[in-house]
Amino acid sequence: MATEKIPGWIERLLLPRLNTIEGELKSINTRIDSLDSKIDSLRNETKTEIQGLRKEIESSRTEIISKFEGLNYRFEAINIRLDSIEKRIPVIEELTALKIKIADIEKRMAAA
């Protein structure tokens, strides 16, 4: 008879504690599921933000490259103009020398 009383006594003592632990475990599982959902949501938001930033960076990069290409064309045009001016300088110097010679000849003729 003593053996029949022990299981009932253990059941009365442990069953409420086991039910409490089971409820706490269910609550913990629910919280874990909620956290998993929040983590997934944050992961998706982060991916979206990163994709947006990548697009902005690529757009800015393309814009900067385009501006540098425009500057490069302008520098090439300036170089062409400078080359043209450099080619004209000797001609201008020669014309100036000729004008001086003509003025000198005119002075001599006027004096003679």
Each residue's pLDDT tens digit, 63-90: 999 999 988 888 899 999 988 888 888 8
Burial track 6-30 (b if 16+ CB lie within 10 A, e otherwise): eeeeeeeeeeeeeeeeeeeeeeeee
- Structure confidence at residue 89 (pLDDT): 86
Each residue's pLDDT tens digit, 35-48: 999 999 999 999 99
Whether 8 shows a pLDDT value over 80: the answer reads no
